[in-house]
Chain A
Amino acid sequence: MDEARIHGLIDDARSGCYSRREILKRGAALGLSAPAMAALVMGVVPVKALAQGAENPLGVDPAAPLDVVIFKGGFGDEYAINVNENLYGKLYPNAKITYAGIQRLGEQLQPRFVAGEPPDVIDNSGAGNLDNASLVAEGQLADLADLMAAPAYDTEGKTFAESLAPGSQDTGVYNGTQYLLNWALTVYGVWYNDAFMKERGYTYPKTWDEMMTLSEEIKGSGVAPWVTTGVHPQYVRQFVFDQMLWKHDPQALVNIDNLEADAWKAPAVADVLEALYMLTDKGYFLQGWEGLDHTQSQNEWLQGKAVFIPVGTWLENEMKGSIPPGFEMVVAPTPSLPGDKIPFEGILASAGEPFIVPAQGKNVQGGKEWLRLLFSKEGGRFFSENTKSLSVVQGSAEGLELGTAFASAQAALQAAGENTFIGRYQDWYKDLADEAKAQMASMLQKQASIEEFQDAVQEMADTVKDDESIPKYQREL
């Protein structure tokens, strides 16, 4: 039986195009058996098929080939293959899908962009990806407005845009146009092994002072209180520094994003840096941390050599082969500093893993349709089950029992409520983020003082600001 045609029929049924009688007639024409048709009309067919709003709202050529390139990183790529095989491939069985799950997309895709032969849909993420700001500036990305307004695939009565977590797509808007779609809802915080904490009778400290006290106690017991990757110091720079700065004084982080004069020399910045400096000054980092890459630092942490580690919610999936039995990983916000303007529960979170549809692709509408199918409850649910991470699709993770990490991230988001935030400067101004990253490493290795950190990063911020060749962006709190 031609599955696409059945799907088409089901879609028609859902959208109310036909009466039951007509469906039965058309079903008979397709050669459907009576029970099958009964199931069809009675709505006993799988939820995914029945829940769709309209057939092909984006006007996809069902026979046009589709070229999909996915960054195969911490999330793997099974969730994308699932879309190819079980969603797009079933709806459009005549479309030949070319698929690649790769790393370091820039080196491989950049020439295709210049040549005007980019893929139709790309998960442009990971180290060595293409610079989204440049792609936007060069008009290489398709405007996703029609996708945003299209009916959601399996969230009834809602548009595609409405079916996604509120605010999750804001960072994909450049000058009023939606170019990027963020896929994974990521929570960044301080992770620990809850089983270990309970066994020792510790509770996660809500203030930095308590964190220092607890760290001292942990250190005294022969375990390192903290570890982070020194090879990629952007982890501590973003997940700890940005988070603490935002909670201490949100405007201070916004000023940094906006390249305000002396934004890096604000007293709030110094407060946070002083707090961080204590970690290194008191020797709370695991020995050798400065030479560990991300997986190495995470392995040391999993082996119980350190208690706290700043990472994002991809952690569990990334380390899935190496998690010792009984380990209960959970995530928490950074502890509060005196005078914080955002409560402790506030947490750094963002929708990440941006997908793009190149404007010059051969099958632009197909690319959008692929995204409409991925960003569905079914796509989101598969992703969550497969990677134990949250997608931006509302309600897609309801009722999933996926362990402590997943539960704690969900709980943290719930507790944070409106208080989630993300700094933008690492997307907008790579030079600035690079300098902050390098100076962060120097400061935490005591090769630079807090003042030197502030001076050096401010100097780079000024350089970026004065450089007319770098496009500038603004945000408000």
Chain B
Amino acid sequence: MHHHKYRLIIPFLLPAALLYGVFVVWPYAQAIYVSLTSWRGVSANRPFVGLDNYQRLWEDDRFLEALSRNGQLLIVLPLVTIAIALTFAALFTQGGQAIRGAAFYRIVFFFPQIIPAVIVGILWSYVYTPNIGLLNGILGGVGLDGLKRSWLTDPTTVLWAIVAVAIWSSVGFYMVIFIASMQSIPTSFYEAAVLDGATRWSSFKDITLPLIWESIRTSVIYLAIAALDFFILVIVVSGGSTTMGATRAEVAALYLYNQAFDKNRWGYASAIGVVLLLLTLLLSVIIMRATRRETYQF
């Protein structure tokens, strides 16, 4: 069998390696080279500037500010999304007869996930708009006029208004993943816990959480990467990459985008991209380490 091995390995790997090498690795390798130039992106002229772009980045307050917004997202996005998704997943798997309409809710909760991000973004931009928007309308309708505001330009709310959209659309996805994990836990564990007089909360904490820890961990990494890459929703919800809302919710990837497409600083933008890439890799390793736990087998 061994001498036949490579007759399979090579043709099986080749298409993937070729496509990946040509369309993914090669463009990124070029991007890394571009980060060492002062390319304006409108001609083939790419003056080499060494590490200048990286040095400037280090002193660029606006970049650091954008990065600090990513830092906030990094905490809020995984925490809130996972908390909500876990709650619903637990209700659907352990709620038993107490949860009426579970099938309906599950269809509904997942629904935002299948809507193209562009529609989600456009829809929410009209939800948040001050005078004809849905949100202010509801607040006014229930007598909470004091809470009405211009959600997408108010510097205290804009970032979170957009993050809320991200959470809104992804809760369903993580909920389904957690449900699957929870369902693989044998029922007998809970039955034993019930006999021992456990409450819903204590069995969730002591049985469910540890047993689905791997799923949570994977989810945390996904959401962390999403928090670093965050920007398409900012553009679509706020109405454009250079609107006041986008400026006040400027995250690192958006800053990159504007430096490239709006300011024609492709070299600098590529340097931002490379830094983001390194941060993502670093962060993934840190989360992997930090969340390492004994894996429970059953």
Q: Mark interface residues in B147-162 (1 if CB within 8 Å of A CB, else 0).
A: 0111111110000000
User: Is B263 part of the binding interface, using a Cβ–Cβ cutoff of 8 Å?
Assistant: yes
Q: Which residues of A contact B136 (CB under 8 A)?
A: 288
Q: With an 8 A cutoff between CB atoms, is A476 at the interface?
A: no
| Structural contact, B244 and A230, CB atoms closer than 8 A | yes
Give the residue of B151, B244, B263 whose beta carbon is less than 8 angstroms from that of A441: B244
Q: Is the CB of A231 within 8 A of B43?
A: no
Tell me, yes or no, whether A106 is within 8 Å of chain B by CB: yes
Q: Does B261 contact A (CB under 8 A)?
A: yes
Q: How large is the interface on A (under 10, 10 to 19, 20 to 34, 35 or more residues)?
A: 35 or more
In the complex, the chain A residue whose C-beta lies closest to that of B246 is A231
Return the CB mask of B105-131 against A: 1 if under 8 Å, else 0.
000000000000000000000001111
Across the interface, do B129 and A135 meet the contact criterion of CB distance under 8 Å? no
Is there a chain B Cβ closer than 8 Å to A207's Cβ?
no
Interface status of B240 (Cβ within 8 A of chain A): yes
Query: With A110-B41, A290-B153, A441-B153 known to touch, is A134 a contact of B129 (CB < 8 Å)?
Result: no
Q: How far is the CA of A145 from the CA of B126 in the complex (A)?
A: 48
* B93 in the interface (beta carbon within 8 A): no
1/0 per residue A275-308: CB within 8 Å of B? 0000000000001101111001000100000000
B-side contacts of A139, CB under 8 Å: 43
Q: Which of B38, B41, B152 contacts A291 (CB 8 A)?
A: B152
B262: which A residues are within 8 A, CB to CB?
106, 128, 131, 430
Structural contact, A138 and B45, CB atoms closer than 8 A = yes
When chains A and B are docked, how far (Å) is the Cα of A288 from the Cα of B245? 14
Among residues 59 to 80 in chain B, which have CB atoms less than 8 Å away from a CB atom of chain A? none
Structural contact, A134 and B42, CB atoms closer than 8 A: yes
Q: Is the CB of A232 within 8 A of B243?
A: yes
CA distance A232 to B263 in the complex (A): 17
A128 CB contacts on chain B under 8 angstroms? 240-242, 261-262
Contact (Cβ within 8 A) A288 B42: no
Cβ of A296 and Cβ of B131 under 8 Å apart? yes
Contact A291 B150 (CB under 8 A): yes
Interface residues on B, range: 35 or more
Count of A-B residue pairs with CB < 8 Å: 100
Known interface pairs A232-B243, A232-B244, A434-B247; A291-B151 also in contact (CB < 8 Å): yes
Decide: B42 and A292 in contact? CB cutoff 8 A: no
Using known A-B contacts A107-B261, A291-B152, A447-B155, determine if residue A233 contacts B244 with beta carbons closer than 8 Å: yes
Q: Check if B42 sits within 8 Å of A135, measured CB to CB.
A: yes
- Complex: A292 Cα to B244 Cα, angstroms: 10
Segment 34-88 of B: residues with Cβ below 8 Å from A: 38, 40-45
**Which of B42, B151, B247, B248 is in CB contact (< 8 Å) with A138?**
B42
Mark interface residues in B241-274 (1 if CB within 8 Å of A CB, else 0). Answer: 1111101100000000000011110000000000
Q: Is the interface of B mostly helix, strand, loop or mixed?
A: loop
Q: In the complex, A140→B131 CA distance in Å?
A: 45
> What's the nearest-Cβ distance from chain B to residue A443, in Å?
13
Contact residues in B for A441 (Cβ distance below 8 Å): 153, 244
Q: CB distance B243 to A288 under 8 Å? A: no
Contact A231 B153 (CB under 8 A): yes
- Taking CB atoms, residues of chain A closer than 8 Å to B247 are 434, 438
Residues on the B chain within 8 Å of A407, using CB: none
B42:A130 contact, CB within 8 angstroms: yes
Give every chain A residue within 8 A of B239 (Cβ-Cβ).
Answer: 231, 293
Is A42 an interface position by the 8 A CB rule? Answer: no
How far is the CB of B62 from the nearest CB of chain A, in Å? 9
B residues less than 8 Å from A431 (CB atoms):
263
- Tell me if B132 counts as interface (CB < 8 A to partner A): yes
CB distance from A373 to the nearest CB of B (A): 27
**Pair B43/A140 contact, Cβ less than 8 Å:** yes
Q: Which residues of A contact B149 (CB under 8 A)?
A: 291
Contact A113 B263 (CB under 8 A): no
Q: Within A118-140, which residues are at the interface with B (CB < 8 Å)?
A: 127-128, 130-131, 134-135, 137-140
Chain A's closest residue to B242 (CB) is A127
Residues in B neighbouring A140, C-beta threshold 8 A:
42-43
- A292–B245 CB distance below 8 A: no
Alpha-carbon distance A237/B179, docked complex (angstroms): 52
Contacts of A138 in B (CB 8 A): 40, 42-43, 45
Q: Is A1 an interface residue (CB 8 A)?
A: no
From the candidates A130, A135, A230, A434, name the one contacting B242 in the complex (CB within 8 A).
A434
Q: Is A477 located at the chain interface by the 8 A CB criterion?
A: no
Q: Which of A439-477 contact B (CB under 8 A)?
A: 441-442, 447, 469
Across the interface, B263 reaches (CB within 8 A) one of A135, A430, A437, namely: A430
Given A107-B261, A131-B263, A469-B38, A113 contacting B153 (CB threshold 8 A): no
Q: In the complex, are the beta carbons of B130 and A288 less than 8 A apart?
A: yes
Chain B residue at smallest Cβ distance from A296 = B129
Interface centre among B153, B243, B245 (most CB of A within 10 A): B153
With A and B bound together, what is the CA distance between A103 and B230 in angstroms?
A: 24
Query: Is A438's CB under 8 angstroms from B244's CB?
Result: yes
Q: Which residue of A lies closest to B265 (CB)?
A: A469
When chains A and B are docked, how far (Å) is the Cα of A106 from the Cα of B263?
A: 11
Q: Is A47 on the interface with B (CB-CB < 8 A)? A: no
Q: Point out the residues of chain B lying under 8 angstroms from A134, CB to CB.
A: 40-42, 264
- 5 A–B contacts, CB within 8 A, in A order: A288-B136, A288-B148, A290-B153, A292-B131, A441-B244
Name the 5 nearest CB pairs between A and B, nearest first.
Answer: A291-B150, A288-B130, A291-B130, A138-B43, A134-B264
Residue numbers of B with Cβ under 8 A of A are 38, 40-45, 128-132, 136, 148-155, 238-245, 247-248, 261-264
Further contacts, 9 of them, CB under 8 A, given A231-B153, A469-B38: A131-B264, A231-B152, A231-B238, A287-B131, A290-B150, A291-B128, A292-B150, A296-B131, A442-B155
